[in-house]
Chains A and B, each alone.
Chain A
Amino acid sequence: MSDAETPPETEFDPVAPNTGEEFEPVDVFPDSDDFDLRPGADSCYKCSTCDTNCPVAEVDDDFPGPKFQGPEQWRLKQSDDDHEIDDSVMDCSNCMRCDNACPSGVPLSQMHNTARGEYVSEQMDKLSVEYIRNRILANYRTSAFFASKVPRLANFAMNFGPARWVMEKTLGVTSERDFPAFAKQTFRDWWADRGGQVQSRENAKAARKRRGLPEDADKKVAYFHGCYSNYNTPEVGKAMVRVYEEFGYEVVAPEQKCSGTPMFANGMLDDARRHAETNVSSMSELVDEGYHAIASCTSCSMALRQEYPELFDIDGIDKVAENTFEAVEYLRIHEDLKGEVQAADVDGDLAEEFAYHAPCHSRNQGLDRQAVELFRDLDGAEVEDVGDSCSGISGTYGWKEEKYEKSMEIGEEMFEHMEHAEGETGMTECPTCAMQMEHGSGYEIRHPLELLEAALVE
């Protein structure tokens, strides 16, 4: 009924409500502890802007796009309890670009993650090769943990041709890609050898003195290094520690597990929750002590900031989300980073021209132009944006045998722009984008923190 119409005669008088009588609210969805995503679905006015941002729909004629996966599927589900999730949800790569596109604030990626979780837990055959393969890929941390114990052997075995042929035929993991090399020493081993938090406190104090800051200044951060900086690229973690200490921050590296990013993308929400519980518990204690959580991987920071509170109800989860930042972003807010970079110069190994790719997961966080803008005025290095396309790998997506071709088709635009860019070294914040960039161009790929370290740390 429109509020412009005159209501029919009733007993009900809005000015003098039936006071004294018991009011019984109606429980529309009894016994439901699921997230209610209908208000989000109702905010969709079907402009289809999300669809024009979907890198998969641009190349895959079987994929119906984010508007269908999100609000439309939710509407179908809400009017029909037995409505099954469409299996195309497994073709969504979880790039989350649709979130940044929606002018109406529809929580698209939350809808996709929730639908995918339901599909995997209720409709997918747990004995299928696809399930087993996805579970192994999603739990990269477990494989990396064992591999890092014997890095040389692992590096050989993981790229041993016959073994990879078997993996492709039996598990559906593409043999086109090289597995990333495991570091001889993990970040955490380096960190412990170096003296951990005690040493960091000393270094931070010395830096504060050098900078003329009060020695007891309350500058402390908790580093969420994630799996990749720990097992594969510890130089990124080391750069984070050295840059932060240079600005006078004491760094701690608390107990942590996988951020959950590859698990969300594969609908393994139970696995993701287990890891999230550890991460939230260790980070929320530190937040209470005045620490901020800092991630160097934009997918890790995205998980802690957005996916955790959207998908899980864990004590302290909102507090952790509010206090998590990406490593360069935090320094932009709290330090005169722009000024210091302008005054600095780079020589040696990193005096390069970089072809920079902004990861999709940096977009919702408003960080996709950060590196390009920050290094504009740095002497000795150039950072050139290679465009706003998706790299195409989307974490585990491009590792799947049946997705490999599409992954490369999506990446084609980035490869072309990298080819045309001045530099022959790549740069990005995201470990799997880095894999794809390297795979498509043959370039070595660096992280903005490494350039920042070269510019600012003696």
Chain B
Amino acid sequence: MAIESEVLVIGGGLGGLTSALAAAREGADVRLVSYKQSTLRQASGLVDVLGYTPNGDGPLTDPYEAIPSLPESHPYRKVGVQTVRNALSLFDDAVPTYEGEHTDTNALLPTHGGSIKPTARYPAGASAGLASDTRDTLLVGIEEMVDFDAPHVAAHLDATGVPFDVRGETIRFPGDLRADAKVTRYAKLLDTNSEVAVRGRMVPAREALAQRVNPLLEGEERVGFPAILGDDNPGAIRDALGDHLGVDVFEVPMGPPSLPGLRLEDALFSALDEAGASIETGNPVVDFEGEDRIEKVFIEKNGAKIPNSADQYVLATGGFVGKGVESDRDGVYEPVFDCHVPHAADRYDWFEGELFGDHEFARYGVATDDDLRPLDANEHSEFENLRAAGSVLGGYDFAAEKSGSGVSIATGYAAGQRAAQEAR
């Protein structure tokens, strides 16, 4: 016997989650398995579609307009513009706390490095921080959080030519926190609004934080914090701070571990739970049985191989960072099904000399047909019941194009929907 489902999705990132959600909403019995907890808490939480062309032109105003001109090998060309739109509608429906669906135009968001990122969707908590907004801005850093140096970020933003004045100030977070307090520690204090000690007096955390910032305001109409404003109740925390300060409050998305990423992970997992899917994390898929069709896959738990079988499979295991694509001195490979990954024979051709050069490896991943089935070296589909989604796909450089989330959502949606349709 085996643990059975109609559609089995392997991978718990944005591609896998969207894929499972699309399949479940299509009515299929879906199971999602992920090696470890979702990697979404390593993501900023911004959802981009396309910020720059492969040639580096941009920032693009309308990402949809640019899709038909992308190279044929690009995943967006496999699924088409309409699928990208449908996929984002599914995302908007599943994650109502996000904004940006009112327009096709990219929004411009400040990053924690002080650069500007073109993005299609963003958490509500970031919306008062839009770089196209002309209101003057105060950025507030926390002394112990070295990842966000507010004066430095403000100076960088200013240098990009933003249409407002921006300043940075650094405060000590109220309460006697340790120097390397975790983002979840700040979030927990603000979520529960627990009392913290300020000069021998106990004050609720939200009020205490506002009191630290208040004297620093010089007429700015909005205040940005690093993204630590709560895990469970971010909206209430922003409102409370805003009321105390008389300004709009926003969060600047941060690097890992990222609370906006964590909140997005929670939102997508609960949408998937509501859609009736089964979810298992903690152990890797290591092997499979089948020739032209995959019959079953095996999850390894401390030496035991647990069989899982399905009619249709989706491979959403990620790229090089997510370990869905691996490399050694002999070549580049996909470790679960050994799907073909096209790459240069000489490994010195995989990269360029310059750090930010146009590296070939950034576009390595499985190649697929228009139905997202991985292709072997002879351009035949590897397995009739396997589709691939997200950054395990090749043919695009998500870091340079700012297209990672969009490709994961669009291909995840397409793969999940088609798998569900075929499973019936």
Contacts and interface: CB of A to CB of B under 8 A. Distances in A.
A447 interface: no
A57 B178 CA distance: 10
Given A52-B41, A100-B36, A369 B302 contact: no
Nearest to B258: A52
A322 B303 contact: yes
Interface string B237-272: 000000000000000000011000010000000000
A333 B1 contact: yes
Contacts of A68: 180
Interface string A258-295: 00000000000000000000000000000000000000
B170 interface: no
B266 to A, nearest CB: 9
A54 B182 contact: yes
A366 B285 CA distance: 12
B277 to A, nearest CB: 9
Contacts of A412: 192
Given A57-B184, A61-B178, A366-B283, 5 more contacts: A59-B188, A68-B180, A318-B303, A333-B3, A373-B279
Contact of A369 (B1, B178, B279): B279
B235 interface: no
Contacts of A64: 178, 180
Contacts of B307: 333
A336 interface: yes
Interface string B338-373: 000000000010000000000000000000000000
Interface in B97-137: none
Contact of B257 (A52, A321, A323, A368): A52
A363 B185 CA distance: 22
B304 A323 contact: yes
Nearest to A65: B182
B278 to A, nearest CB: 5
A343 to B, nearest CB: 16
- Name, among B39, B178, B185, B281, the residue most crowded by chain A CB atoms within 10 Å (CB to CB): B185
A257 B393 CA distance: 50
A61 B184 contact: no
A364 interface: yes
Contacts of B185: 57-59, 61
A65 B181 CA distance: 9
A371 interface: no
A52 B188 CA distance: 11
Interface of B: 1-3, 33, 36-37, 39, 41-42, 176-178, 180-185, 188, 192, 256-257, 262, 273, 276, 278-283, 299, 301-304, 306-307, 322-323, 348
A332 interface: yes
A50 to B, nearest CB: 9
Contact of A49 (B2, B37, B299): B37
A361 B348 CA distance: 45
A51 interface: yes
9 contacts: A52-B41, A61-B185, A101-B36, A101-B37, A102-B36, A321-B304, A365-B283, A366-B283, A373-B279
Given A47-B256, A48-B256, A369 B182 contact: no
A16 B380 CA distance: 42
Nearest to B34: A366
Nearest to A52: B257
A64 to B, nearest CB: 7
Contact of A366 (B39, B178, B301): B301
Contacts of A368: 281
A48 B176 contact: no
Centre residue among B180, B182, B280 by max chain A CB count within 10 A: B182
A263 B256 CA distance: 34
Contact of B183 (A47, A52, A309): A52
A325 B304 contact: yes
A305 interface: yes
B278 A369 contact: yes
A197 to B, nearest CB: 24
Contacts of A59: 185, 188
A365 B280 CA distance: 9
B304 A322 contact: yes
Contacts of B273: 385
A134 interface: no
Given A47-B42, A58-B188, A366 B281 contact: yes
A332 B304 contact: no
A280 to B, nearest CB: 14
A57 B187 CA distance: 12
A305 B302 contact: yes
Contacts of B256: 47-49
A4 B257 CA distance: 33
Instruction: Report the 5 A-B pairs with minimum CB-CB distance, sorted nearest first.
Output: A322-B303, A366-B282, A52-B257, A305-B302, A366-B280
A336 B302 CA distance: 24
A412 to B, nearest CB: 8
A57 B182 contact: yes
B257 A49 contact: yes
Nearest to A335: B1
A100 B36 CA distance: 5
A373 B42 CA distance: 27
A53 B37 contact: yes
A103 interface: yes
Interface string A318-336: 1001111100000011111
Given A51-B257, A52-B257, A364-B282, A336 B188 contact: no
A230 B63 CA distance: 63
A365 B301 contact: yes
A238 B257 CA distance: 44
Nearest to A59: B188
Nearest to B39: A103
B301 A376 contact: no
A80 to B, nearest CB: 21
Contacts of B257: 47-49, 51-52
B301 to A, nearest CB: 6
A48 B184 CA distance: 11
Contact of B37 (A65, A100, A306, A332): A100
A382 B70 CA distance: 50
Given A57-B185, A369-B279, A49 B41 contact: yes
Contacts of A100: 36-37, 281-282
Contacts of A365: 282-283, 301
Contacts of B39: 103
A439 B177 CA distance: 29
B319 to A, nearest CB: 13
Contacts of A51: 182, 184, 257
A31 interface: no
A34 interface: no
A306 B283 CA distance: 12
A62 interface: yes
Contacts of B33: 366
Contact of A52 (B3, B184, B301): B184
A376 B276 contact: yes
B354 to A, nearest CB: 14
Contacts of B183: 52
A382 B276 CA distance: 15
Given A59-B188, A103-B42, A322-B304, A336 B281 contact: no
